[in-house]
Structures are given as structure tokens and as C-alpha cells.
């Protein structure tokens, strides 16, 4: 996923369908310098991860 689209999704009030390794996730924050995103699985909000933007897929 590119940085701009990830930022749009993280700022949107509408939930986008984004997955990380096949799991539906919520994007909390995008780090443009490191090209990463802080995410968490929709069913495990306490399991935050920082992942490469390249590993996120929009459905």
C-alpha cells in the first residue's frame, strides 16, 4: 500500500477493508519517514504492531 492511501485510510471516519497477512486490521498511524504503519487486528485491539506499508493490502 502506498503512503498516501494508508494516510487517507487512517484519517477517514469510514472503515476501509485492510488486511495484514490475511487478517483484517485497523490503521492507527502512518510513519511516512519509515514507511510503516501502526496497526491492530480488528478482533484484538490490544495487539498493536508496527508493519511495513508494503505488507498491507486494501480489499
Average pLDDT over every residue of 18-43: 97
Mean pLDDT across the chain, nearest whole number? 96
Q: Are strands 49-52 and 56-58 parallel, antiparallel or unpaired?
A: unpaired
Number of domains in the chain: 1
Could you tell me where the DSSP H helices lie in 1-59? 3-11
Q: Which domain, by its residues, includes 18?
A: 3-58
Q: Residue 19 maps to which CATH number?
A: 2.30.30
pTM recorded for the entire structure: 0.90
Please list, in sequence order, all residues whose beta carbon lies within 8 angstroms of the beta carbon of residue 34, skipping any fewer than 6 positions away: none
Asked if 7 and 16 touch (Cβ cutoff 8 Å), the reply is no
Amino acid at each position: 500500500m502506498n503512503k498516501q492511501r494508508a494516510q487517507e485510510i487512517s484519517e477517514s471516519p469510514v472503515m476501509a477493508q485492510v488486511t495484514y497477512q490475511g487478517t483484517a486490521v485497523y490503521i492507527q498511524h502512518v510513519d511516512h519517514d519509515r514507511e510503516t504503519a501502526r496497526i491492530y487486528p480488528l478482533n484484538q485491539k490490544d495487539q498493536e504492531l508496527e508493519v511495513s506499508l508494503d505488507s498491507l493490502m486494501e480489499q
